Amino acid sequence: MLSILLAAAPLISFACASFEGNLNYHSPSRRHKGLGIDVPKVAKRSLVKRATPWDPTQLNFTHGVASGDPYSRSVILWTRIAPSSEHNRSNVTVSGNVAFYNHDTEKYIKASPNPICVDYRIGTDSNFTIVADHGQAYTTSDIDFTVKIEARNLTPFTQYYYQFNVCGSSNKSPLGRTKTSPDENDEVSKIGLAVFSCSNWQNGYFNVYGNAARKDNVDFFVHLGDYIYESAKGKLGQDPRATNPSREIVTLYDYRTRIGQYRSDPDLRLAHQDFAWIPTWDDHEVANNGYRDGFSNMNNTEQSFLKYGGVSVDSRKMNAVRAYFEWMPIRQVNMDDNLRIWRNFKMGKLFDLIMLDTRNYDRSITTLDWNDDYIEDLKDDASRSLMGSLQENWFYNQLSKSHERGATWRIIGNQIIFSRMNNSAVYSNWLNADQWDGYTANRNRTLHHLYNNKIPNTAFLAGDSHANWVSDLVWLDETPYDQATGAGAIGVEFAGTAVSSSGYGAGRSIANSSDRSAALVRDNRELQWTEGYYRGYYELYISPEELNAQYFGSPSVASRNPFDISLANFTVKAGANHLQRSNGTVVATDGHVESGALQRGPTIPTNLTLNTLTGKWNVTGFEKMFVTYA
């Protein structure tokens, strides 16, 4: 027996090395084994059970490939290789004196009797004439058969191709394309970002992902959250966008299955295959209106615990976070902090991209649909924070360090609208307390840091609201502000509409939606343009001289289509700290916008639409925006 164990030891050691290469085995904590997956035990399991190795012909790359979190010398590569698209159906909550992610018995999850081995390679051409990095990794059911590796030894700001294959076989994944970031001290002439948020499967098709990918104009894709939604709608096999599972998701199986369903959308899969992503989460990756201790429909009470079948707030959040890190091509920047997603990307001397978590990390209580009056009373309380003290101080430090190192721009990827917004023209309550408006002290501290330290060229990016908003970044009531010139502003805010979620223009005509937009710009001094009809995204082009934002919409997400309509363009000159004006009007497309309303300037609808498959322009219209259900 001893001789068998001694003979097996080198095999276990080699296997552990291949398991360690898959970053998903490190989550949630690399340094605290009791909180994570016991890799030696997983490696030993296949030897003890002496299982028959997988037949490569029975395995599939079920959800394509993806890449993300680009650094100057490395990038994250992702795939899933499995015998089927299905996920383990165990819904039992782990309890008692066991590791967080216990896999010892089938009570929790069906253990893979044998790991699946994949090789990967990355090179500067699609034929891999020169291979920059290559390696091998294992995966098992413990991590839903996902593979996430860090490709290293790469060259800054360089396009690469990558591919996985099942070890010792010709079973290959689709060919992926990715890109590294510049080195932090590189002089860069221009970088393009495509910015997305709020993709709701049941509402419609993810056309805008495919449109941006086929146009192929930008360097990186940025996602500001609500990549999935937890709610359910429709009947599988009957409704084309029915959700799977057919219930509100709470368990690990649920979250894995829902993300897997989203990744079956061909336009989302194309976007992941061809671009490196830099994502953060919002609330719906876990549940609606999340904060530190709960959600709008779930809290830390016995009643809530029983309602959700014995799943607590903490368990639900852990299930969602684990599935997110398994499936997204993202780095876990602090292996001792599995809720940390906030991080910074230094894009040469051009800009810092500071990605925040204003939702799940350490957020004070938000509006929960029953406590609106209470939150309105609390909104000015100095103790309230969207981020918690640790992240908030890190954020201010990053702003200062970026300015001190000589970066031209600071681009802030956050979930929710930063600017003060009077919504009374479209909603019953003027205040949306789930945005920065509900955390006035936190916003004031941020503005104080920017103004007091004279930090210029800051642009906030936002999603969440399912509408387009473009504003000067102003500390109203504290700093003089000239609406006509923009003088007094310290930066700008570009907030984007949803990929498919509905906003204030839902169920209305384009004209009626634009009337509502006009009322909003009338009631908000710093708001220069808003638009609520189209689903879409925007492209941000950053150069040392200026920042240009180009907004695009999909005329309908009720069907899969390749149509892309230009809505508006805006420019910010370096050092100006506000949107560029011409005769008091922000510079938009030929002085006008396609939809919505400008603070000053006309709205001229044309319906002139680009077919991103053919490259041809035409006037295109659709009768409905969203998928409908019987």
- The class level of CATH for 10-179 reads mainly beta
pTM exceeds 0.75 for this model:
yes
Number of H helices, E strands in the chain: 11, 27
User: Distance between CA atoms of 164 and 136, rounded to whole angstroms?
Assistant: 9
Give me the torsion for CA of 396, 397, 403, 408, rounded to 10°: -70
Q: Give the mean model confidence (pLDDT) for residues 266-273.
A: 98
Q: State the span(s) of the chain assigned CATH 3.60.21.70.
A: 191-619
Compute the mean pLDDT over every residue in the chain, rounded to the nearest whole number.
91
- The class level of CATH for 191-619 reads alpha beta
Q: Is pLDDT above 80 for 16?
A: no
Interval 379-420: pLDDT, tens: 999 999 999 999 999 999 999 999 999 999 999 999 999 999
Only one residue has tokens 């209305």, namely 508
Max avg pLDDT among 90-104, 331-345, 603-617: 603-617
SS (HEC) of 405-431: CCCCEEEEECCCCCCCCCCCCCCCCCC
Q: Which candidate, 481, 526, 491, 489, places its Cα nearest to that of 409?
A: 491
Q: Is pLDDT above 50 for 6?
A: no
Compute how many other C-beta atoms are within 10 angstroms of the C-beta atom of residue 398: 19
Confidence of residue 31 (pLDDT cuts 50, 70, 90): low
Only one residue has tokens 């309550």, namely 429
> So what's the pLDDT on residue 41?
77
> So what's the pLDDT on residue 38?
74
User: Distance between CA atoms of 258 and 255, rounded to whole angstroms?
Assistant: 5
> So what's the pLDDT on residue 301?
87
Confidence of residue 12 (pLDDT cuts 50, 70, 90): very low
> So what's the pLDDT on residue 77?
98
Q: Is pLDDT above 50 for 9?
A: no
Q: State the span(s) of the chain assigned CATH 2.60.40.380.
A: 10-179
Q: Is pLDDT above 80 for 323?
A: yes
